Amino acid sequence: MKPQLYFLSLLMGLLLSTSMLFGQVSDVKAMLAEAKNARDSYEDTKALALFEKILLIDSINMEALYNVGYIYSRLGWMQEDYDEDLAKKYYTKSKLYADKVYKYYPNTFEANLLMAGAIARLAKYGSTKERVTGAWDIKKYADIAYKFKPEDPLLKHMLAWWNFELSKPTWFERSMADMLFGGIPKGADVNLAIKTMKELISKRPDYIVYRYDLALFYEYIGDKINARSWLESALKLTPKTPEEFPYIPAGKKLLARLK
């Protein structure tokens, strides 16, 4: 091949490769917008398919990795009261994607939030040792996420539950944790959990989940009056998101228990 033809062929190849690259970037951008719209509209099956399609083009796309993990966590949450095995399966998938996001983007809010959330969701299925080590890991990742977005509602909701759950381990679990696993993280406070949940309610007063959770916190400390008040206010609301619907029958059961 003559030098001129060789360089012309090389140039055409480079132009074609660049064109294909820009085409893929354009496709990814469009799919991301469509996928996030589907996620926000609670079309989880469609959103998952789009985010996973993006990962076939760009296997380390942070937004796609994070959102696949987030959607699997949300799906698990909605299955907890109906199919525990399926919920655990979804949570396990969420953790796999959390690991991937953290591997490539460790110094981001998304990676640390997803890691903390995935560990928190799976901790309930673990042994005493796994729950204790999980409590430490949740705090580690949540503390980093907090530095980026201290007012993020997903993070604050998780921290409220972290404070609540760690304020109530049994004496036996605390003794075992102190003796074998270095103890449970200090500073957890149910009153801080209550305060955080009230802050969330003030910013999203029509969300049933927050009011139900606050009622649970009050029930735990023996304040049935406040527990009933917040629960009754929750049951007066109309569910607007898929995860809120299971809280209606759960709320009625809790109300019967409080009477």
Which burial class, exposed, middle or buried, applies to 118 when counting CB atoms under 10 A from its CB (0-12, 13-18, 19+)? buried
Angle subtended by helix axes 153-166 and 109-123, to nearest 10 = 40
User: How far is it, in rounded angstroms, from Cα 78 to Cα 95?
Assistant: 17
pLDDT digits over 189-218, tens only?
A: 999 999 999 999 999 999 999 999 999 999
**Residue 224 pLDDT greater than 80, yes or no:** yes
Q: What mean pLDDT comes out for the span 116-131?
A: 90
User: How far is it, in rounded angstroms, from Cα 244 to Cα 46?
Assistant: 20
* DSSP for 62-126, written as a single string: HHHHHHHHHHHHHHHHHHTTT-HHHHHHHHHHHHHHHHHHHHH-TTSHHHHHHHHHHHHHHHTTS
**Residue 182 pLDDT greater than 80, yes or no:** no
Contacts of residues 71-75 at CB distance under 8 Å and 24 or more positions apart, as own/partner, are: 71/39, 71/44, 71/47, 72/48, 72/97, 73/114, 73/117, 73/118, 73/121, 74/44, 74/243, 75/44
Quick one: pLDDT at residue 137?
A: 94
User: What's the pTM value of the predicted model, to 2 decimals?
Assistant: 0.85
Quick one: pLDDT at residue 17?
A: 47
